[in-house]
Amino acid sequence: MQTAVAQEITVEADKPGAAIRPTMWGIFFEDINMAADGGLYAELVKNRSFEFNNPLMGWTEHSSVPGNGNILVLNRGAENPDNPRFIRVTHYTDGEYGLSNEGFRGMGIKQGETYHFSIWDRPAAPVALRLELQNPNGQPIGSARLLLNPSTDWKRDTISFTATVTEAKARLYIGFEGQGVVDLDMISLFPQHTWKQRPGGLRADLVQLLADMHPGFIRFPGGCIVEGRDLTNRYQWKKTVGRVEDRKLIMNRWNVEFAHRSTPDYFQSFGLGFFEYFQLAEDIGAEPLPILNCGMACQFNTAEVVPIPDIDPYIQDALDLIEFANGDTSTKWGGLRAAMGHPAPFHLKMMGVGNEQWGPQYVERYKVFTRAIKARYPDIRLVNSTGPDPNGEKFDFLNDTLRKLHADILDEHYYRNPGWFLQNATRYDHYDRNGPKIFAGEYAAQSDKVVSVNNRSNWQCALAEAAFMTGLERNADIVQMASYAPLFAHVDGWQWTPDLIWFDNLRSYGTADYYVQKLFANNKGTAVLPLTRQGSPLTGQDGLYGSACIDSAAREIVIKLVNTTAQPQSLNIRLDGVRKVSSPARAFLLSAARLDAVNTLDNPTAISPVGTSIPSQGKKLASTLAPYTFSVIRIKI
């Protein structure tokens, strides 16, 4: 068998080019696929304040004697428009009577974990609640008894108890002891071990997966969630801050988006709101990138718009958000931030105007938003939409128009097949170097087609994304941010595939795409270095893709190489402009036995990086890239 001739690859270590911004590789969060309630937000009770369209959705009444108790749903809209409903429970006899809550496709309960129960109540007489965590057969796996004393005013009572068994599909049962009437609202249950042990906080394993990526930014809260199906359904950040019990729940627009994935119990409680997003960004060392509605609902749905003469409240929301994030505590919104526990500013530097809008009506709104924001906050950089596609009439119009208007950052989206990603590794090689910067705001290779239930986060898709990302890195002077989308998906409650991270009520895992993103983000370097073969960048010749950068802090050269072929490829990597190479180089290899291979809950790291080393010879490294592999090589200089 004839051995293939090794290809010569050159890295010019003494010719650093464009700086790679710390924000280069980030994450995109949207409340789709149960990413917030039932996902990142660790609340276990669904419809805790009875504000769903069906007020008792998620709740089941239990009675051992017919007629020994009842529930009345009351509405105090005039008194409390943001949280109008509560329930009045009447227990007539001593027979068993109670309510259970099913959670979000069940409740994930862990043996030995402490759970914190809280409830807002107004009892007319003493009432005791028998609290039980139950398995699907109704057997207790943790219990407590909470006495509610009579009160004419609403009060919050709490108790904690420990689970005795691990169960992925548990429920919460509340039994009523004693006869009488009690008003109840905001019935809540959280695990003790949230992220950073914050009461009412975030699910720790999911945040850890994000923190491990070391993202440069986090975009929130979406996505189409920003627009809403109509403007009444849009995301309004001011309704997501302040006391949790005062935040106004709305229907999640993904509740009714796809007939084939109907999710009638999908709402937004906003327990995960803008304060928590900013706090999360700070926790994981990421720049916050909030996206605000620009007076336009989703153009795929109603395409409802606010007339320009009526746009001022939307602009004021943008100005007030900057004050909330950065303002002094003496200001109205900076004071609210401080009252919520964060007197220091969040150091907001950028903001998105609209999500995936297009057409002249978007340009019209872009102009008035930009004029108002820049007049008061000239240093805030604005991210602007180029529509839902990377080409075509909508894209061409916005790309041309926004460039003429000297927009700061253009947000490009690409949901395409793996072949598109391979063919577009050179997309930015010929962009105007003096024009707006690019945010690759949403991208994911589709194994089937967009919106297909058959899309899989397989190795072929991840490998194509890695090849494409070498082109983003090579053009870091133009592309300053990039993020895969969507981020999260619950295995029992998803609407869209593929996704970066999957989870059930107890477990979670990163897909092959996740590990590609993580390898880029953990090895981003500080400046681009020329990497060439026969004088040209490595952009798919013989199925090879590559980029290189220098990590000045670590004094290392970082090389990323992708072999998209079924054949091994031998390389001689020559390092020009270095005095010596410390041997051996460190390498991280990502591969799979099959292109359709995927990670799963039961085998979460089937496709994950494997560390190895590569010996050097003077200023050269000899490496053979196995078929269908993504390699990161770090060389100390």
Tokens, residue 533? 């073969």
Active site residue 356: yes
Alpha-carbon distance of 45 to 161, in angstroms, equals: 16
* Burial (CB count within 10 angstroms: exposed 0-12, middle 13-18, buried 19+), residue 460: buried
Cβ-contact 20, 525 below 8 angstroms: yes
Alpha-carbon distance of 383 to 570, in angstroms, equals: 42
With a CB cutoff of 8 Å and minimum separation 6, the contacts of 593 are none
Q: For residue 298, which amino acid is it?
A: C
Tokens, residue 540? 């798919």
Name the residue among 305, 297, 303 with its Cα closest to residue 227.
297
Tokens, residue 409? 């950052």
Element (H, E) at 325: helix 312-326
Q: Which residue has the tokens 């990086």?
A: 609
Alpha-carbon distance of 390 to 491, in angstroms, equals: 29
Instruction: Return the C-alpha torsion angle 268, 269, 272, 275, nearest 10.
Output: 110
- Helix locations, 65-212, DSSP H: 204-211
- Local structure of residue 227 (DSSP, 8 states): H
Q: Which residue has the tokens 């529930």?
A: 71
- Annotated active-site residue in 356, 442, 473, 556: 356
Q: Which residue has the tokens 């409903």?
A: 85
Q: Could you list the active site residues?
A: 356
